[in-house]
Structure 1
């Protein structure tokens, strides 16, 4: 997983701070619904399996 400072630069030149978003999701995973955890798991996010 990328670190909190990771920034994705898309083809159109926009930047997204994906590292912060992933960190927030991980820290708040106990508040995510089952469908949200399942969607993240399908994307390969290993910590979603509790």
Structure 2
């Protein structure tokens, strides 16, 4: 996924969809995985993140 990828999601309290920068989140999480706790890594594995 490219770092510039974003998704539009609808949030209950917002009138307009909100852009979530998913590419940035994936990139940051992947580059910082050595600092994630075991609990955080387990949660990523449950989401199907192969590199977690």
- Output the TM-score relative to the length of structure 2: 0.83
CA distance in 2, matches of 1:45, 1:7: 18
Identify, as 1 or 2, the structure richer in helix: 1
Structure 2 alignment gaps of length 5 or more: 12-16
- Output the TM-score relative to the length of structure 1: 0.86
After TM superposition, what 4+ stretches of structure 1 lie above 6 angstroms from structure 2? none
- Give 1:1-50 correspondences, 5 Å limit: 2-12=1-11, 13-48=17-52
Pair member with larger Rg: 2
RMSD: 1.0
